[in-house]
Structure 1
Amino acid sequence: MTTPLTWLYVPGDRPDTVAKALRTGADVVVVDLEDAVAPDRKEYARDATAELLSDPQPRPVHVRVNALDGPLAADDLRALAHLAGVAGLRLPKVTSPEQILRVARCTPHPLYALLESALGIEHAFAIAGAHPAVHGIALGEADLRADLGVRDDAGLDWPRSRVIVAARAAGLPPPPQSVYPDTRDLAGLAASCAHGRALGFLGRAAVHPRQLPVIERAYLPTEEELARAETIVKAAAAHEGAQALRDGTFIDAAVVTAAHRTLSLAARRG
């Protein structure tokens, strides 16, 4: 699959909505058994999700299980362990590598850890490298805001950067951004995505299909960026080693690697 840029969350107790989500064009559909499901609907959400995902799906489906330190996660993991339609498990509120190790022992699925507390941020690198089953880490910013008492969005930039660095240091892909909660403020979403891209995120989680094209546009290279990458790659192919372009810009191996990454991402345009 091409690099995921959009991850659409859908409540697990609404299987019809999950089926519709699979047709929205989201790169990954995330069926949520945790925050999006009321306590008295948890068992139904688990059973409905297990039934739906017993067969392979037309695109990757991840499932966010309930909190690992709560009473529901063990049943979630058992129900999902060997389903052909599950492409990954998203683990909420992870605070330690030991939690990852316990989950990895009881499921064959790729794991994605969500860091939603100060303790989780402090252990970000240890969590990211805890087990080969960890395929990614990301922030859960709503819970993190509450834990830190952050009142301004800028107050999250340090933990955001911490998680990005931890992921890359552990050899994982750049994390996707956390959800933008106002589903009607598409201009605000675009601006937030531009800021996230500048920090080093790649793609974003969404809670409504209308957010998907905004996220994808924000994270795909612009025409100017694409032209620049093509120029760099052509120059590197013509002359080995560090060099300066005609406009005086210095390029070396790191710049060329970044240009190849841009071209790879641009291939999503079709």
Structure 2
Amino acid sequence: MTVALTYLYVPGDRPERFDKALTSGADAIVLDLEDAVAADRKVLARETVARWIAALAPGSVEVWVRVNPGALQEADICAVAHPHLAGVWLPKVGSASEVEQVDRLLADVCPDATVSALIETAAGVFDALAIARAPRLRFLQLGEVDLAADLGVEVDDDGTALLFARSRVVAASVAAGIDPPPAAVSRNFRDGDALEVDTRALARLGFVGRACIHPAQLEPVRRVFTPSQDEVRDARAVLACLDAADSGVAVDAEGFLIDEAVARQARRVLARAEQ
């Protein structure tokens, strides 16, 4: 399955933006029934999203819905479940049992849908591996604003305050064999250069792709996760050098050791370039 690089949020009560989002250049759109919708418009948003998805023609852009937590969740899922739906984003997941409940619900209403769990509490951080191994789980995410509030920390520019949580979610994803987590949203959609620098820092931690709140964020994010020609050339050189070696290790043109771990990184670059 191809890993999406850009996920564009769209408020669920703004149907005039749905079709525009599909043609924005995003790999996936996320129709939001949770934070982007006021409490008195939740039912309206649910009905609006459900009608639009039901009339949607199949296409190359993935369509997800972020549902509400708690009492509204089951009704949200049952309303939007459709074969054209890639899956649902579950906010504030604190345990694997919450995903298991959704799995049982989806088995009846949309058996092919997948799930992404947003880790937004301390409990979720410490249960990340069990959540990652839950049924239907395609990838984890961090809801960093809510998580910071739950932890009582202030998110600084270098990300130190959330480094533990970020690394734990990445490691849990690898251990569970699911897709890597996309990075959390940034509120910065006016300074593309700053967004790109921030996204590159998250990419170095193991995140792949990013959730976006504005179309202007799509291109800077895509640049980060699309290998350059130089990176592709270097990756091919690494693999060629190792293939030509008489043993399981080789030395590159700069005199650095190449082994299977280095080769794995090179293959990852080439796979992303092909995507």
Name whichever of 55-64 and 105-114 sits farther off.
55-64
Name whichever of 95-104 and 49-58 sits farther off.
49-58
Q: What 5-or-longer segments of structure 2 have no aligned partner?
A: none
Asked if 1:64 is matched to 2:66, the reply is: yes
Asked if 1:93 is matched to 2:92, the reply is: yes
Residue type of the alignment partner of 1:97: A
Q: CA deviation at 1:235?
A: 1.8
Residue type of the alignment partner of 1:230: R
In the TM superposition, what whole-angstrom CA distance separates every residue of 1:52-72 from its partner, at most 9, and x where no partner exists?
Answer: 1113442110100001xx221
User: 1:11 is matched with which residue?
Assistant: 11
Q: Is the 8 A contact 1:53 1:84 kept in 2?
A: no
Aligned residues: 264
User: 2:250 is matched with which residue?
Assistant: 243
Match of 1:213 among 216, 219, 234: 219
Name whichever of 241-250 and 142-151 sits farther off.
241-250
User: 2:140 is matched with which residue?
Assistant: 137
User: 1:123 is matched with which residue?
Assistant: 127
Asked if 1:112 is matched to 2:119, the reply is: no
Question: C-alpha distance in 2, partners of 1:56/1:262?
Answer: 33
Identity %, equivalent residues: 43
Q: TM-score, normalised by structure 1?
A: 0.94
Question: C-alpha distance in 1, partners of 2:90/2:7?
Answer: 15
Q: CA deviation at 1:5?
A: 0.8
In the TM superposition, what whole-angstrom CA distance separates every residue of 1:64-93 from its partner, at most 9, and x where no partner exists?
Answer: 0001xx221110111123x12211111000
In the TM superposition, what whole-angstrom CA distance separates every residue of 1:14-50 from its partner, at most 9, and x where no partner exists?
Answer: 1120111000110110110100011111111111111
Q: Is the 8 A contact 2:129 2:173 kept in 1?
A: yes
Question: C-alpha distance in 2, partners of 1:257/1:187?
Answer: 29
Correspondence 1:30-109 to 2 at 5 A: 30-54=30-54, 55-58=56-59, 59-67=61-69, 70-81=70-81, 83-107=82-106, 108=111, 109=113
Q: TM-score, normalised by structure 2?
A: 0.92
Q: Is the 8 A contact 2:3 2:179 kept in 1?
A: no
Question: C-alpha distance in 2, partners of 1:26/1:255?
Answer: 31
Q: CA deviation at 1:200?
A: 1.0
Give the SS at the match of 2:118.
strand
Residue type of the alignment partner of 2:9: Y
User: 1:257 is matched with which residue?
Assistant: 264
Q: CA deviation at 1:112?
A: 0.5
